[in-house]
Chains A and B, each alone.
Chain A
Amino acid sequence: MKALLLNGVGKDTRHLDRIGELIVQELRSLQWEVEGLVLRDIEIAPCMGCFGCWVQTPGGCVIDDNAREVTRKMIQSDLVLYFTPITFGGYSSELKKALDRSISLVSPFFTRINGEVHHQKRYAYAPKLLGVGILHQPYEESERIFKALISRNAINLQNPAHAARVVYEDQTEAEIQGAIRATLDELGVRP
């Protein structure tokens, strides 16, 4: 089983990478094949909102850069992890630059899900989605927004399962590992 960790930690908060490494270790201990992408080191141009990935080169972005490969890895994984400092409740700009360029993973055509309009699937399958957000300290509003964002993303990408976990910078490694383990259980990815 393949997992892809999209690391959205910025260059000024590199110390947070250690939490990502704990997640990778935990998954590897469960026999997952894990690839981590440190997005701050990967040049990705902003999405131009042209919808070319839907109507010009269907399924692939018209901009020829690293985002194509990131998008391919996302859909070819069984589990995708969004790992990010929680930024005003949402994702960091580093994580978001990759996600903005991945909308080719869905079809432009509309469908209804629970009475609301969304896009149809492009692929028959989708990875499970796990969001791990980092905060300096507990902050209820930010955590609520982050969890809502993961849930909304999971509806739009039609992920078969999703979960969101918030961890804090001052937590010990054991506490973070415990939190990640519990979330992986929730997601049903432990053997």
Chain B
Amino acid sequence: MSKVRVLVGTRKGAFILESDGKRQKWDISGPHFAGWELYHVKGSPVDPDRLYASQSSGWFGQLIQRSNDGGKTWEPVDNKFVYDGVPGTHQWYDGKPHPWEFKRVWHLEPSLTDPDTVYAGVEDAALFRTTDGGKSWHELSGLRGHGSGSRWQPGAGGMGLHTILLDPSNSQRMYIAISAAGTFRTDDDGTTWKPINRGLKSEYIPDPDAEVGHCVHRIALHQSRPNVLFMQKHWDIMRTDDAGEQWREVSGNLPTDFGFVIDVHAHEPETIYVVPIKSDREHYPMDGKLRVFRSKIGGDEWEPLTKGLPQSDCYVDVLREAMAVDSLDSCGVYFGTTGGQVYASADAGDSWMPIVRDLPAVLSVEVQTLA
């Protein structure tokens, strides 16, 4: 019988939740790396017992942990992220050039074909890769060096490379997103990159439709249709049907289009999920109601999903890395909150239940569907 393993990164450690395919009863292990911030934990698609975790602290910096047994045991691997060559500068908050400085790993994306190859998105924004299971990391410096890097500027939360999408149909292509620079694509395995932000409009930057500078919060794709991307921008839900050459807004009837997460149903490429947050001044849901919104036509028309979610006095946030789906026949959808709840739906969002309630603030949620 199929199993599901949910990997949860929090402000104070990692937790692993496992259930059978019914997804009603959950076993919880953790905290792993108690007291540390776990920005992201993710498993290899080709070896589900191979997990990678980004562990960091304001005191002791960055660590990368690897597990070969599904999270039962872990070993630290290389934590040295050194920018390639002379790092140069990007824009600082005051508009002056500021040297690139490594702060932490926001996102780990294991290869679709090789468990020893992993991409790491870091702050200050750059992309690294290991091909030896984390024993060494090397920057794919063409991203920072493509021309606009010196104009990138951090948002209030730092200048992190937070999303890495690998194209399952084209091993040379991947997409990344950076706050607050925008979205970029490579078609030659990370050697060269181009900004793909045409169609984005951001009123909080001097030139609203600039080539770079957009605060993209998250992008997502469906494995069967990797040229179609969905985006939760700072404000606005966007989609592109041509691999990012042109975006259009699909916020439609959402009550607010600010938010962080966005994801796609495992079997329905036009069914997408967001969790609208009231505003960038008030990082909590509107009216104290925690609602997931689902569109079954790829945006524009959205329906609120509320069954099992708190509909009064709820003021948690759902951060960019904190939503994922499983690939069981009835698609499961999961998200975590800054209040420490992880909610799951075993019926594609129609109904929800908290599978754990009182964790530290949730930073990331990933799901593995196990045979």
Whether A associates with B in a native complex is no
Residue positions of A touching B, CB distance < 8 A: none
